[in-house]
Amino acid sequence: MLRLFAAIEIPEDIGIPLLARQQGIEGARWRPLEALHITLRFIGDVSETTADDLDLELERISQSPFGLELERVGSFGEGADLHAVWAGVAESEPLRRLAKACESAARRAGLASETRAYRPHVTLAYLKRSNPAEVATWIQANNLLHSPTFAVDRFGLYSSWRTAEGSRYRLEREYRLG
């Protein structure tokens, strides 16, 4: 079984300033530069045959390159259930179209529909028993985040596996836009 997701990699010139914000929350597991991405579609655990079918469907996606910006920060969860802090993605119709195309490709490959609403973001840290006041202070200190526009001319199919230090990702296939 392979654990997969489709995503856009965050370019180094956009990611390095994000790394500078990775402080101020005790116990946060901050994500390294190579793990920063915008998920288009979480696939989950699939057989190699299903992964091959998905790859063929993702290759069929036809869309022009587009620009994206990151803006604001936030968290998932509340109180004792806080579990991540993130950088948001500015509203983008091309991004939503690409995510929808990845969803359609997944369904054509035989996967069940995603039931969660699409909320594009870049996970900066996973939290475990973090102090809600520290998280709120971090959000206040970083909420004016606004990156320069960066070009999106490709996306990838990534595999994920868990380690003691957190999830690790490997690019399995890359798909060019345009």
Catalogue the active-site residues: 37, 121
As given in the structure block, the two tokens for residue 161 are 């596996």
Closest to 127 in 3D by CA, of 31, 36, 24, 28? 28
Query: What letter does residue 146 receive in the DSSP assignment?
Result: B
Structural element, H or E, at residue 140: helix 132-142
